[in-house]
Amino acid sequence: MYSWRTMATSFTLDSEMQKKAGAKADADGLSLSAAVRLLLAGYVSGRITIAAVPATEAVVVERIEELPMDASAQKLANRIFAAANKRHRE
């Protein structure tokens, strides 16, 4: 179950990555922080794997598939993202 209790965290991005990620998130109707939360949720749930491997063994992911959602799940996700984006703007 989603917990509305939150904790602030910060990290450093180079300016070019921040601009590109922010533009992509904006095009998808998300804030950059909402996009990062989605990635972390996928990582925690096991849908996204991050592994430290030697560069010669690294796999580059070209595209992350969209997760299928029924209408009620999509409405819930939209409400959560809208609330998170609203809090982010305040």
Q: Where are the domains of the chain?
A: 15-89
Question: How confident is the model at residue 81, as a pLDDT?
Answer: 78
Sign of the CA dihedral running 42, 89, 80, 25: negative
- Residue listed under structure tokens 């533009």: 23
- Residue listed under structure tokens 């921040």: 18
More confident residue, 9 or 90: 9
Contact 48, 64 (CB under 8 A): yes
Question: How confident is the model at residue 56, as a pLDDT?
Answer: 62
Would the pTM of this model clear 0.75, i.e. be above it?
no
pLDDT for residue 60 is more than 60: no
Contact 35, 42 (CB under 8 A): no
Question: How confident is the model at residue 69, as a pLDDT?
Answer: 73
More confident residue, 56 or 45: 45
Give SS3 for 44. Answer: helix
